[in-house]
Structure 1
């Protein structure tokens, strides 16, 4: 039952936002009493926390699977982007923004976990790219991986990129191109151009 509650709450939170969805809404959607939810989660904050880190673990497992099965680091980044977009569903509800505003402690902990995971995986991807000569061998791997995380976090800030003006898919694709163009070799650029052509989204 606990896992079912987390799954249903995740769908509602990502579709409608963390603030909008109440415990009553979740109970109604599941056809159970609110008391049943409280058996597993003493309050909404604990449920938000469980949903947030469950989703994080799911995305991490998916990213690990992609990294193990995709040989090209450029294709890897685009595959990860599509996977993350699929799991975050409707970005119009601004889940990251609402989490930061209404559950700042959870947001801070999540951001730290995200940095640890992304910093490691991007470093490995960059090193692989250098070894396969699609990325320049002069890049500072540690610096670039930190900049990548900063940029990916920054494009989700509604103050700088209001959702009424920018679709998240467009922002992620544009940032990927911006990031990769700075580090690719001629060999890498040929691969990148193919992905840009097949992944263009509307602003």
Structure 2
């Protein structure tokens, strides 16, 4: 039952927002009593924490599986982007900012975990790209990893990028291309252009 509550609550939190969804809403959606929820979760904050890290774990597992395929580094980033876009639709992209506003301790911990994971995967991607000749040899992988993380999280800020003007899909695709064009070699640029062309054809 605990896992079912987490799944339903996560769905509602991402769709409607962490603040607006109440324990009563979750109970009503699941046709269970609120008491049943409190049997597994001390309070709403505890439930929010479980849901937030459940999403994080799901995304981390998916990224690890993509990286394990050992594709070329440019294809790897496109596949990760595609996977994350499937996970988080337009109406869900502001959820992290809500988390930081209404549950700052959870938001801070989640942000730190995301940073650590992205630094790890980005640095591996850059090393592979350099070794295979797709990325420039003089890259500082730690700096680039932090810059990439700052951009990926920053483009979700709807004050800077209002959803009615910049869809989540547009923001993510444009930023990935921007990131890659800054680090590829001439050979890597040929591969990048190929992926951009194929990607736009398939959309």
**TM-score using structure 2 length:** 0.94
1:39-80 deviations in Å (ceiling 9; x for gaps): 111111111100001111111011000000141111111111
Structure 1 15/70 Cα, relative in aligned 2: closer, same or farther at 3 Å?
A: farther
Distance 2:45 2:16 in 1: 16
- 2:159 alignment counterpart: 159
- 2:59 alignment counterpart: 59
Distance 1:85 1:93 in 2: 10
Contact 2:93 2:156 in 1 (8 A): no
Residue 199 of structure 1: SS of its match in structure 2? helix
Instruction: Answer yes or no: is 1:88 the counterpart of 2:88.
Output: yes
Contact 1:16 1:93 in 2 (8 A): no
Residue 20 of structure 2: SS of its match in structure 1? coil
Does 23-32 or 90-99 show the bigger shift? 90-99
- The root-mean-square deviation of aligned C-alpha atoms, in Å, is 1.5
- 2:68 alignment counterpart: 68
Name structure 2 gaps, 5 residues minimum. Answer: none
Residue 19 of structure 1: SS of its match in structure 2? coil
- 1:190 alignment counterpart: 190
Contact 2:18 2:98 in 1 (8 A): yes
1:158-177 deviations in Å (ceiling 9; x for gaps): 22112222111110110000
- 1:36 alignment counterpart: 36
Does 185-194 or 123-132 show the bigger shift? 185-194
Residue 196 of structure 2: SS of its match in structure 1? helix
Q: State the aligned residue count.
A: 201
Name structure 1 gaps, 5 residues minimum. Answer: none
Q: How does 1:41-190 map to 2 (within 5 A)?
A: 41-91=41-91, 94-190=94-190
Residue 93 of structure 1 deviates from its aligned partner by: 6.3
Contact 1:97 1:158 in 2 (8 A): no
Structure 1 92/68 Cα, relative in aligned 2: closer, same or farther at 3 Å?
A: closer
Distance 1:146 1:157 in 2: 17
Distance 1:196 1:97 in 2: 30
**TM-score using structure 1 length:** 0.94
Residue 147 of structure 1: SS of its match in structure 2? helix
Contact 1:17 1:93 in 2 (8 A): no
Residue 137 of structure 1: SS of its match in structure 2? coil
